[in-house]
Amino acid sequence: MLYLHNSLTKKKEEFKPINPGKVGMYVCGPTVYDYVHLGNIRSYMTPDILRRYFEYQGYEVRLIKNITDVGHLTDDDIAQGDSGEDKIEKKAVQEKKTPAEIAKFYEDDFREVEKKMNILPAQYFPHATAHIPQMIRIIGTLIEKSYAYEKNGNVFFDVTKFPEYGKLSGNTLENLEVGARLEEHPDKRNPWDFALWLKAPKEHLLKWESPWSIGYPGWHIECSAMSTEYLGDTIDVHTGGEDNIFPHHEAEIAQTQCATGKKYVNYWIHTRHLKVDGVKMSKSKNNFYRLKDIEDKGYSPMALRLLLLSSLRQTQLNFTWKAMDQAKSNLQRINDFILNMEALSTSQDTESGFDIDSYQKRFEDAMDDDINTPLALSVFYELMTEANILLMKSSLKGQDAKKILAFWKRINSVFGLELHGQVEIPQEILDLVKKRENARKNKDFQTSDKLRDEIERLGYIIEDTKNNNFIIKPARDAKHNDAG
C-alpha cells in the first residue's frame, strides 16, 4: 500500500484514488522566461517518479504540467506574488523580442531538458495564455459568491472570507504579519488579499479584455483554471517545489474551493529545494546550473537523474560536484553489472537459485513508504553485491541473470535510467551460437571454429566459462588479453 506525505495534513496517508485504477496529477510547470535549472529539474523528478510508480502498480495516470507564460511577477519574495513586473514581459523588453518568442524559446529548452532527463512527457502541457476565458469565468464566480471584489479594474480575493486560509502553509491570518515583505496595493481591502486580475498599464504587452478591465490574470488563478479544466474540480495529486506552498498553492486552494464548493486536492506533494552553497538555486538569484553545465563537464543527464534519485525529496539537497562524481561512478557500476547480466543470460543452463522475490518486496516497501527512492536504489545495490559475489564463484547461472534482468527492467520503469550500451543479442547471433553449440556437441570442431569466427566477424565474442558454459558479449565489451 502506497503512503504519501501530504503537505496539507502533514501526515503520511494511504493513497486512495478518486476513480478506481486512475490517477490525476497536476504539476506546476516552468515560468518560461529563463533556462530550466537543476532545482526545477528536481521538482519535476518527483512527479515523474510518482507517476512511474503509479504506472508500475497498474494505474492509468493523467498528468498535466502547465507552462506559465503570463502572470508570474518578478517580486516573488514579496507577500502574495502579485507585485512587480511580468517576468516574461520584462525579458521580452530586455531582449527586444515578443513575449511569445521568449516563452517559446525557453519552453523548447524545458522540453529538451525533460527529454534528456528521461522525464516522461505529460499528457498535456497547457499554456496559461490559452486559458484566459477559463480564468475569467472562475473570477466571475468568485465575485458572484462574494469571495472576490473589484476596484478600479483590479480584482482581489478576500482572504478573510475563507476560514481555511493558511492551512497548507501555516500562514493563517493570525500568523501573517504586515511586514517589510508586503507591498500594499491601494485597491486591496486588506493587505493579504491576492490579485485575481490586474488592470494593465497602457504599455503592458500581455493583456486581455475582461468584464473588469483590459488587463492580465494573477499568477495563482492560472493553475486553478488549468487543473480543473483538465482534471476536474477535485484532483488526486498536485505537486510543486516547496516555494510554491506559499503564496501560490495556498491561493489555489482558497480560490478553487470557494469557486467549486468542493475539496480541491487530495494529496499535496512538495519537493524541498535544491541549493548551491546553502542558498536556493534560482533563476532570479542567477546562481543556477543548467543541464548543459553538467554535460559540459562530462556528466550525463542520467548521472544527474541518479543523483536526484539518491536523495529524498522531503529534504533539501545541496548540489556538489563530488556528489555528481559519486553518481557517475554508481551509474557506471549499474551499467557494467547489467552488461554482465546480459552476457551471462545468453548461457544455456536452466537452473536458478537466486531469490529475486525478497528484493522485489523490499523495493516495493521502500517505494510504498512515501516514494523512498534512495532506499529503493540501495535494495538494487545490495542485489548487485550478492550477484557479483556469486558470479565470482561461478555460481550465478544464465537463468539467474535472466531473472535479474527482468527485475531490473521492471524497477527501472520507475527509476527511468537509460543505460549506455545495454544490448540485446540479435537473433541472428543467437542462431549461429546454437549451431556452434550443436557442432561442438558432435565434436565437429572445424565447423564450430568457423562459426565462432563468423560470430566475431559480426561483432560478438563467445567466452567459455566453467562447466561447459559460455557467454556472448559485444566485442567492444570483451577483455582483450591476447598479446597479438
Q: What residues line the site for ligand AMP (CB under 6 A)?
A: 28, 30-31, 39-40, 42-43, 68, 240-241, 243-244, 271, 273-274, 280-282
The residue among 30 and 126 lying less far from ligand AMP, judged by its C-beta, is 30
- Cell output for 24: 490525476
User: How far is 221 from 218, CA to CA, in rounded Å?
Assistant: 6
* Dihedral Cα 374, 379, 382, 387, nearest 10 deg: -140
The residue among 72 and 397 lying less far from ligand AMP, judged by its C-beta, is 72
Using the rule CB under 5 A, is 223 a contact of Zn ion?
yes
Q: Tell me how far, at minimum, the Cβ of 161 lies from ligand AMP, in Å.
A: 27
Q: Tell me how far, at minimum, the Cβ of 54 lies from ligand AMP, in Å.
A: 19
The residue among 311 and 399 lying less far from ligand AMP, judged by its C-beta, is 311
Pick one of ligand AMP, Zn ion, none as the site partner of residue 31 (Cβ within 5 to 8 A by kind). Answer: ligand AMP
Q: Tell me how far, at minimum, the Cβ of 30 lies from ligand AMP, in Å.
A: 4
Pick one of ligand AMP, Zn ion, none as the site partner of residue 223 (Cβ within 5 to 8 A by kind). Answer: Zn ion
The residue among 217 and 240 lying less far from ligand AMP, judged by its C-beta, is 240
User: How far is 463 from 478, CA to CA, in rounded Å?
Assistant: 8
Pick one of Zn ion, ligand AMP, none as the site partner of residue 30 (Cβ within 5 to 8 A by kind). Answer: ligand AMP
Q: Which stretch binds Zn ion (CB under 5 A): 28-36, 359-367, 368-376, 434-442?
A: 28-36
Pick one of 4, 28, 92, 401: the residue that binds Zn ion (CB under 5 A): 28
The residue among 239 and 256 lying less far from ligand AMP, judged by its C-beta, is 239
Phi, psi angles (nearest 5°) of residue 150: -110, 140
Pick one of ligand AMP, Zn ion, none as the site partner of residue 196 (Cβ within 5 to 8 A by kind). Answer: none
Query: Is 81:220 a contact under the CB 8 Å cutoff?
Result: yes
The residue among 87 and 473 lying less far from ligand AMP, judged by its C-beta, is 87
Using the rule CB under 5 A, is 117 a contact of Zn ion?
no
The residue among 304 and 471 lying less far from ligand AMP, judged by its C-beta, is 304
Using the rule CB under 5 A, is 251 a contact of Zn ion?
no
The residue among 46 and 346 lying less far from Zn ion, judged by its C-beta, is 46
Pick one of ligand AMP, Zn ion, none as the site partner of residue 461 (Cβ within 5 to 8 A by kind). Answer: none
Using the rule CB under 5 A, is 155 a contact of Zn ion?
no
Pick one of ligand AMP, Zn ion, none as the site partner of residue 227 (Cβ within 5 to 8 A by kind). Answer: none
199 pairs with which residues across the strands?
215
Q: Tell me how far, at minimum, the Cβ of 248 lies from Zn ion, in Å.
A: 6
The residue among 71 and 301 lying less far from Zn ion, judged by its C-beta, is 71
Q: Tell me how far, at minimum, the Cβ of 127 lies from Zn ion, in Å.
A: 13
Using the rule CB under 5 A, is 396 a contact of Zn ion?
no
Q: Tell me how far, at minimum, the Cβ of 270 lies from ligand AMP, in Å.
A: 8
Q: Tell me how far, at minimum, the Cβ of 217 lies from ligand AMP, in Å.
A: 15
User: How far is 4 from 10, CA to CA, in rounded Å?
Assistant: 10
Residue with the closest Cβ to ligand AMP? 241
Q: Tell me how far, at minimum, the Cβ of 86 lies from Zn ion, in Å.
A: 15
Q: Tell me how far, at minimum, the Cβ of 245 lies from Zn ion, in Å.
A: 11
Pick one of ligand AMP, Zn ion, none as the site partner of residue 271 (Cβ within 5 to 8 A by kind). Answer: ligand AMP
Using the rule CB under 5 A, is 226 a contact of Zn ion?
no
The residue among 207 and 273 lying less far from ligand AMP, judged by its C-beta, is 273
Q: Tell me how far, at minimum, the Cβ of 25 lies from ligand AMP, in Å.
A: 13
Q: Which stretch binds Zn ion (CB under 5 A): 11-19, 201-209, 217-225, 368-376?
A: 217-225
Q: How many other C-beta atoms are found inside a 10 Å radius of the C-beta of residue 184? A: 12
The residue among 223 and 391 lying less far from Zn ion, judged by its C-beta, is 223
Q: Is 72 exposed, middle or buried (0-12, 13-18, 19+ CB in 10 A)?
A: buried
Query: Is 440:469 a contact under the CB 8 Å cutoff?
Result: no
Residues in contact with Zn ion by CB under 5 A are: 28, 223
